[in-house]
Structure formats: structure tokens, C-alpha cells
Amino acid sequence: MEAWKHWILLILNLLYLSENRLYPVTNSEDRKPGNSVKPIRFSLPGLTKTSSERKLEPYQPIKGLVKPECFATGRVLDLSRNNLFFISPKQFEGYTNISCLNLSGNGFASALNGTEFTTLPNLKYLDLSFNKIDLAYDHAFEELKELEVLDLSFNPHYFTVPGVTHNLNFLKNLPKLRVLNMSSNSIFTLTTKYLISDSLAELQFQQNQLGRLWQKYMCMQLFWNLTNLTHLDISYNNIKTIPKDVYKYLPVTLKRFRLNHNGLTDLNWTLMSTFTQLEQLILGYNSLTFITRNITQNIPSLRFLDLSHNRISQLANKFLQDAVNLQMLDLSYNKLTTINRSTFPSKGENVLTTLWLDNNPYRCTCNLMDFVLWIFDSNVKIPKLATLVKCNTPTKGVKVVHFDIKDCIDNNVVVLFYSFSTFLVLSVTVLSTLMHIFYWDFSYVFYYTKAKFKGYQHLSSGDNVYDAFVTYDTKDPQVSDWVLNHLRIQLEEQGDHILPVCLEERDWLPGCPVLDSLTQSIRQSRKTVFVLTHSYVNSGSFKMAMYLAHQRLLDENEDVIVLLLLEPVLQDSHFLRLRRRLCSHSVLEWPRMPAAEPWFWQCLRNSIRVENKYMYSNIYSRYFSIKNKPKEKESTTQYYYKRLESACVPLQRFALSSHLYSSALNYEITIMSDKPNLDEVASFDKTKLKKTETQEKNPLPSKETIEQEKQAGTS
């Protein structure tokens, strides 16, 4: 029976034990006497069904489970995706004829010391991917003298741990190693500065962090001592630029060089001339924008050049001149708009067999005519020419091969139109740029020159477009809703007279400066209604609108201010107190009782329709009556009333100090309570109240004069 098992193991080419939850046994058993076959030291899970219960299916060859390279080396033992979390030499006793061993996906984190695979001296292919291998020891893999292929991909655990030795000296212990896969390990720092091997021909180093290493000027000579290296893949390494020293220390024996998916923005084509044996250069999925002229002079041995998925917008003339070896060129997915006929060699000089040009934004104008003629005249194979080589402008989606070259025969009109349109575009661009940069300078010069010729003219409101401009806190949704759905309806839709109002949220032109819109709204409206709330009176918009309304009073002598107190604000304001004294009908408060709301709306309509000068109090109106009488020698009381009224008009002198307001109000309360008329004032003894020159110069009478006026009023 044991001999039969030994014979079975001898004739097997593949033992596939993947995904069986095998785990190593710590207490190894001794071999029984007479056994010629060493037992497998793995613990197998129990079977759920017996062999008689399971249905036997015909044998199907395993496809896709075992790599062809592994199967080509000889006998294969596949133990991938099990639970072999450590490796012991006794685990592989009896399998000395194994050529390919797959231990990927087992999750073991052993530090290899050169004794793990001593029972597998003929091993040629070893797959240790998807594990947590520790390569700290220099003696790792030294027992595998026949190993040719080593896969250490997807082992980032060792290389991402900071503060430990990241060692790659194991490469010296493998004299026959041809292929090394170190991809997807996130290598960003290395203790080993040189990889040394005379046999290594292919190195897979993608999805690491070579860009970070080279930015710090570390490991510049990492690949220099790989004297037999022909295939190097350093894609997905985040390499934006390659330092000049790196070009010097790359193996000159390279035949296939992959640099795709790196975000490269520049490549020193002159320094690439050291690769005299390079045949394939893959530069796809980068950010290259420029390709040197006559590229084959730098790399004469190049046969395949992949420049797809870059940002190349233009190719130099004679781009492929003397390209005696280049057979395939991929320029798809770039930014090419126009290709000259001289870019590619003519039919007799051309050795190019395949050219990819699809998915470029071609500009199908007369400049593309030479390239279209070259396509029809050349025997180069252009894949997807009839489907994906399309125009982007002026007719998007049209195939380049369908471009009508007859339209380009007489192009004099086109040249003139092009010249005129170019001049127009440049002029508008320059003028717009100058206006954007020097707008205020030009405006100042323009208005200054205009003022020099015309002189000063104050602004006038002209005809009133609106009966009222309502300014309020547009940032408060409740206030906005009240204005739009209550105040607007009461003024524009109800009442005996329709009063059109101007609202910021409805009537202002979008994009116009706020100051211009505010000025225009105030000057085109009969009245300016201020809806006052606590938040609005503290805003800059309220202050700006109030200043502009007073400016209209100064320019046109028109009082247009109506204050609507939606909330009790400015209770301590001297201006508000004085305005209530002089023009109380222009200060309205929202009633607390709902029954008083109709009266409030009627008062608001009256305030908007009637000019403010007709609603001034008797005290203020008396100023106008005195002013219009024939000029005569006036008494001190008349003089004081005149001076007081002219000083206390806040709408004409808004910049007076608060001291003047408080003095005027206090005197009004104490002196004017009896409200004497003009006849009483005229009967005063003019001889007792003489004005001196000093009193003429002062804005208010002296204290003695006021006391005399009190006594005279009492008498």
C-alpha cells in the first residue's frame, strides 16, 4: 500500500490543495518503520460526505488556477490560501522533486533565515505573494540555489513598518534567479542601496514609492548592479520626474522599460540615449506634453513606443525621421488637434506598421488636409480609423477620413476671415484686460475730463417711476415675507389709489452694483420707506440708504424719508426724537392691536402720497411763514426762533452734533410749551431786546438773552 502511494506521488505533475484550510502541525510524528514515503505534515479538515455519497464528475483540466510559468517548470504543489502561518523544513519532506511551490495567501509572517526550504533543493518557482514575509536576515533563501522565479508581491507589511531594517540582500543568495516580482509592496524606504545580481533578467517593481525615494535622492543606484536586467517595470510608482543621476545608473541592457501610470510631466530624451538595446518603451497614462524631434536618434533600437493617455498637443516636424526600427507607435487619447504631413515619413521611407491615433480632439480645418492626404497615401495600419478617429471642431463627431478637402483649395477668403477674426478677438481681449485692470483709472480720467468741459451739475431724480422705495433687512426671512406679502399688497393691490413700490428682491437688476441700484431706486421714487428692525439698523445697508436719502434732500431740497418701526428701535436716538417733533407723520409704528392695522395702512398711504413739507409741525412751519414776511427789525425772540429752526432741521444738516440736538429739544420743552404766536412776538418791546454784534456772530443767543425772553413771555 505504501509503495502504491509512493508510485502515485512519482507520476503526479500537479497536487492542488488550495483553499483547504490546512494548518501546520507543531508536534511532528516520527516515520514508522518500513515507510519509504515521508508523510505530509499537514492537518486536513474532516470530510462532510463519504466518497460513496459524492457524485464523481469527469476530470477537467485546471484552467486559470495555476500560472502557466509555474506549470512549465515541472511538478507543482499548490498550497495557496490555507492557514500555514509558519514554515518548517519537515513540512515538505518527501517532496524533493517539486519544481513549483505556491504558498500565496497563507498570512505567515516568518523571518526567513535560509532553512525553511532545505527539503526542496530543486525548487525553481516559489510564490510567496499575499503574505507578511520578513526579509530582515541576509541568509534568506540561500538554500534555494536552483530558484529561477520568486514572487514576493503584495507583502507590504514588512516594508511599511517604520524604524526597522528594510533589507533586500537576499538577492545575492539566488545565483540562478531570472524573475523577481516585488510589486505592490509600498516600498518607500530601503536599507539596501544596491540590488546585486548577475542573473536577474526581469524585475517587477510596480506599485511602490520610487518617486519618494528619488525625491530624497535616495537609492539612485538601486538598479545599477543588475548587470543582466532586460525587463524593468516601475509603473505606478508616483514618479513625477526622473532625476538626471538616475538615468546614468539604470542598466544599459534594458530591452523593455515600463513607466506607465506615474504622472510623468517630463522625460529627458537626450539621456535616454544610453539605452542602446531598448526595444519597448511604455509611457502611457502620464502627463507628458512634449516629445522631442527625431526621437529615434536618441533611441535607435526602439521598436514599440506607447505614448497613449498623455497630454501631447503637438508633434514636431520630422518626428520620426530616420526611424529605421520603430514599427508600432501609440498616440491615442492625447490632445492632438493638428498633424503635419512631415511629421510621419513618406511611403517609401516608412517602416512603421501600426499607428494608433484614436480619441484625439482633431481640428478638421485646412491645416489637417496634408495629414488626411498622408493617411490615404500611406500603407500604415491605423486601428479604429473609421470609428474613433473623429473631428472635434468645427463639426464634432465627423470622421477624419470623411473630411472634404475640396473646401481648402481656394482659401484666400478663409485667410482674410481668419485674419480679421483674429484681430477682432485679440483687440477685444486686450481691451477687456485693460478695462479690467485699469477700470478705475479710465473712469477717473473720463469723468474728470467730462467735468472740465461741462462743469458740476447736481443729480436730479426726474420723473418718479415708483411712489415708494421700500428698504428693509432682506436677510431676515420674516421681514421679507411681511414686506412682500403684506406691505406690498396693501400699497399695490388695495386702497383707493395704487402705489407702485420698488423692492430690492423683486425690482433690482441682478449683477448690478448695490450702490448703483440703491441710488437709482431712491432717486426714482417719491418716498423712501425704511422698515426698521434691530438687525437692520445695525447694518451697513441702512446707513448707506439713509445717507443717500439725505443727499437727495441736499441736492433737490426734497425730504423723502418715511420711518416704519416694525420693532421698537432707536428709542434713544436724538434724530428720531427730533423727527417726531418736527414731522411726526413720517414716523410710523406697527400697532400692537390688530384693530388698529387699517388705520396704520391708511397713515402709511398718506405719508407716501403727501410731501413731507406739508406735514411738518407748527413749530417748523412757522419758520417758513417768518421767512416769507417782509424784512423788518426782528426781536430777539424772532431771531432765536429763526436760528433755532434753521439749526434743528436734521434733514438739511444731518451732520450736526448731538449737543445741538439735545440743546434744541430741551429748550423746546421748557420755552415753547406755551407756543406763542407771531402777533405776541411782534408786541415785545424792541428797545429792551437789542442784538449786539457779538450775538450776531453766535449761532444761539446768550444765557442772559434767554432769561430776558422768559421774563418777557411770562409778562
| Average pLDDT of the residues in 181-200 | 93
Least trusted range by pLDDT, from 424-438, 474-488, 551-565, 603-617: 603-617
CA distance 683 to 676: 11
Least trusted range by pLDDT, from 55-64, 324-333, 685-694: 685-694
Tell me the residue type at 35.
N
pLDDT in tens, 212-226: 999 888 889 999 999
CA distance 649 to 644: 9
The pLDDT confidence band at residue 243, using thresholds 50, 70 and 90, is very high
Greatest mean pLDDT among 105-109, 199-203, 610-614, 660-664: 199-203
| Average pLDDT of the residues in 82-106 | 87
C-alpha cell belonging to residue 311: 497630454
pLDDT in tens, 143-165: 999 999 999 999 999 898 887 88
| Average pLDDT of the residues in 216-239 | 93
| Average pLDDT of the residues in 531-537 | 88
SS3 string, 523-567, reads HCEEEEEEEECHHHHCCHHHHHHHHHHHHHHHHHCCCCEEEEECC
- Taken in order of first residue, the domains within the chain and their CATH numbers are 336-413 (no CATH), 466-614 (3.40.50.10140), 626-714 (no CATH)
In this structure, what are the phi and psi dihedrals at residue 405, rounded to the nearest 5 degrees?
-80, -5
Report the SS3 class of residue 190: coil
Among candidates 125, 176, 131, 178, which has minimal Cα distance to 152?
A: 131
pLDDT in tens, 252-297: 999 999 999 999 998 888 888 889 999 999 999 999 998 887 777 7
**Strands 23-24 and 42-43, bridge-based pairing:** antiparallel
pLDDT of 124 reads 95
pLDDT of 587 reads 86
Q: 258 pairs with which residues across the strands?
A: 233, 282
Contact 326, 303 (CB under 8 A): yes
The pLDDT confidence band at residue 715, using thresholds 50, 70 and 90, is very low
| Average pLDDT of the residues in 313-324 | 80
| 206 pLDDT above the threshold of 60 | yes
Radius of gyration of the chain (CA): 48
| 24 pLDDT above the threshold of 90 | no
- The answer to whether the predicted template modeling score (pTM) of the entire model surpasses 0.75 is no
Length of the chain: 715
pLDDT of 240 reads 92
Report the SS3 class of residue 701: coil
pLDDT in tens, 31-45: 444 444 344 444 434
- HSE (CB half, 13 Å, CA atoms) of 714? 7
| Average pLDDT of the residues in 191-201 | 93
Q: What Cα–Cα distance (Å) separates residue 619 from each residue in 77, 81, 113, 558?
A: 115, 103, 110, 19
pLDDT in tens, 356-396: 999 999 998 888 888 888 888 888 999 999 999 999 988 88
| 332 pLDDT above the threshold of 80 | yes
